[in-house]
Amino acid sequence: MQEQNAISMSIVKVNNLKKTFQETRAVDNVSFSVKKEEIFGFLGPNGAGKTTTLRMLTGLLKPDRGTVHINGWNIDKDPLKVKMKLGVIPEVSNIYKDLTPLQNILLAGRFYGIKRSTITGKAEQLLQRLGIYEQKDQPVSEFSKGMRQKVSIACALINNAEVLFLDEPTAGLDVHSRKLIREVILEMKKTGVTIFLTTHDIEEANQLCEQIAIINRGRIAAIDTPENLKRIFKESCAVEVSFDRMPPPDSLSQIEETKHVEKRGDKFRITTASPDRLIKHLASFAEKENIAFTHLAVLGTSLEEVFLTLTEEGK
Ligand SMILES: Nc1ncnc2c1ncn2[C@@H]1O[C@H](COP(=O)(O)OP(=O)(O)O)[C@@H](O)[C@H]1O
Ligand SMILES: [Mg+2]
């Protein structure tokens, strides 16, 4: 009963998903759930397992183990029911460049078996919503990458998809197109579509997502809101310091409040739970050793720090 409730509250529910290619554990015991109408980010470096996961979520690839439920339906048992509810924008565009946006959308609509009488009106509505109505009769080959990506999104939405899966939708786009696509994603969310997107762009995840799962080497390293992810790591702030001459070897790691010392170029990066107290101890240390600070900075936690810490730990 409890499991039923959990499934109905979350529109996407993934349990213990696994996929191995020969020797590579591409996806290793991944579980998470996506709430209705949220933007869920799957953030990870290249080769982390993002595309493999997305392909299993959308029924394009069969997992070795684990289950995927979308809207309460098991994708393995009811693939058609599930696929009718979702739209997919793959990593490599699947639209036809020789066709126009309108022709592409009509084709996608026919694929879903949408009635001819309703399809043109719906296609035109989508073109308008995405701001490509004026170009509806030009071949896609004449478009920028950002515009093509909009056509892909329109094709994925023709079916009134409730969940939209986007695989690195802004990768390789210029700044302007990236902004356009992000606006489209936010716009879709407003109309009640749930969004699952993969990205290796931390700032994109930070800007768009309500929840972020950080994936590294096939495993989930953390799942939380961007703000909570930052907060969790507040405890591991760092102080960056350099002196006018080298302090005695290992002397820094002896200082109170020091968790870990790392030498980076001419600077030392000291992680600590209390930057304030550490700086006071550092000051007495410098006084005693008769050395002077040439640089001193407290490094706050950015999502980038969280990401690097989590993905470096896995190595
Ligand atoms: N069809 C495949 N055959 C063999 N290895 C694969 C295949 N697809 C993905 N992989 C491997 O699985 C790992 C995860 O890949 P992928 O899911 O594409 O990562 P991401 O999308 O995060 O960059 C990588 O090591 C990749 O080389
Ligand atoms: Mg990928």
Residue 113 pLDDT: 86
Non-local CB neighbours of 299 within 8 Å, separated by 6+ positions: 237, 238, 239, 240, 269, 305
How many CB atoms lie under 10 A from the CB of residue 232?
Answer: 14
Tell me which residue has its CA closest to atom 1 in ligand 1.
Answer: 21
Give pLDDT tens digits for 105-146: 999 998 888 888 889 999 999 999 888 999 999 999 999 888
Give pLDDT tens digits for 145-154: 889 999 999 9
Measured from the Cα of 49, ligand 1's closest atom is 17
pLDDT in tens, the chain (315 residues): 444 444 447 999 999 999 999 989 999 999 999 999 999 999 998 999 999 999 999 999 999 999 999 999 999 999 988 998 899 999 988 899 999 999 999 999 988 888 888 899 999 999 998 889 999 999 999 998 889 999 999 999 998 899 999 999 999 888 888 998 999 999 999 999 999 999 998 889 999 999 999 999 999 989 999 988 877 766 668 899 999 999 998 999 999 999 889 998 999 999 888 889 999 999 999 999 999 999 999 886 667 777 777 777 554
DSSP structural state of residue 162: S
Å from CA of 52 to ligand 2 middle: 7
Could you give the CA distance from residue 98 to residue 31 in angstroms, rounded to a whole number? 40
CATH number attached to the domain at 232-313: 3.30.70.980
Residues within 6 Å of ligand 1 by CB = 21, 24, 26, 44, 46-52
Q: Which ligand is nearest to the CA of 168?
A: 2
Å from CA of 196 to ligand 2 middle: 14
What's the token pair of residue 145?
Answer: 């990458």
Domain boundaries, the chain: 2-226, 232-313
Q: Using most ligand atoms within 8 A of CB, pick from 18, 20, 21, 30 the residue to mutate for ligand 1.
A: 21
What global pTM score does this model have?
Answer: 0.79
The dihedrals phi and psi of 307, each to the nearest 5 degrees, come to: -60, -50
Residue 249 pLDDT: 84
Q: Is 213 helix (H, G, I), strand (E, B) or coil?
A: strand
Measured from the Cα of 27, ligand 1's closest atom is 14
CATH entry 3.40.50.300 includes domain 2-226 = yes
Spell out the SS3 assignment of 82-148.
HHCCEEEECCCCCCCCCCCHHHHHHHHHHHCCCCHHHHHHHHHHHHHHCCCCCCCCCCHHHCCHHHH
